[in-house]
Amino acid sequence: SAKDWYDPYLAFNRVEEHAAHFVRALRERLRHLAAGGAAPTLVLALDADLFGHWWFEGVRWLQSVLLQLLDADDIRLVTVKDALPQLPAVHHAEPIAHPIFDSPAVAALRQRVAVAAARLEMVAREKPAAQALDEALLRQATCELLLAQSSDWAVLIATGMAQEYALGRVNEHLARFERLLHYASQQQPPPDAAAYLREIAELDNLFPLINYRLFG
């Protein structure tokens, strides 16, 4: 059957309906779990493919879900960092087993990314009040770390689908991360720091307003 022309007004109205339905489903799930006597925690793990690549309105849907949850009296939003100590180790598709992320081929990658994350955490704590160029450098470094952390690379490496490509992308993002963090760590960024930042920010503009302090 023929499709209608895309109508953003109708599409975004439907997004609000879907978000409300999702929040209702979360509420019912939490009530069901709470009936067992324990305080339940739900982890909202979403594949990035949903946002933009497969679903143009996905980001708007996520925004609406979060806003509705913030307004809810019976549901409390927490970060993974705060909730993690209370949660058992599970995989969203296969409980207990982590076949992709525990595979030998991915172990070295995970270690490199973990070291980079620890470095960002240290710098974020040392420079919580960075401004101007320093702040922009740290913001872009955070973006590069998030790109390096993408689970896509682990999947491509572990399955052998595109190992060289995935490793190349991780190396690229980590190299940019290291250079940006090096600039931001200095008392005074060198003359080429601003030009390099502009170049990389144009290539990788994911989350342009991300707050690096969240990682401190």
The per-residue pLDDT for range 3-50, each reduced to its tens digit, is 889 999 999 999 999 999 999 999 999 999 999 887 888 888 887 777
Q: Is the pLDDT of residue 124 over 80?
A: yes
- Chain-centroid distance, C-alpha 1: 38
Q: Is 103 exposed, middle or buried (0-12, 13-18, 19+ CB in 10 A)?
A: middle
Residue 98: predicted pLDDT: 61
What average pLDDT does the chain have?
Answer: 88
pTM over 0.75: no
Residue 146: predicted pLDDT: 94
In the chain, the percentage of residues whose pLDDT exceeds 70 is: 92
The per-residue pLDDT for range 163-215, each reduced to its tens digit, is 899 999 999 999 999 999 999 988 888 899 999 999 999 999 988 889 999 88
Q: Are 30 and 78 in contact (CB under 8 A)?
A: no
Q: Is the pLDDT of residue 89 over 70?
A: no
Which domains are assigned to the chain?
Answer: 8-86 (no CATH), 104-215 (1.20.1430.10)
Supply 141's token pair.
């470094």
Mean pLDDT score, 138-146: 96
Supply 212's token pair.
């690096």
AA identity, residue 151: S
Between 164 and 54, residue with greater pLDDT = 164
Residue 52: predicted pLDDT: 67
Say which residues have a Cβ less than 8 Å from residue 209's Cβ, sequence separation at least 6: 139
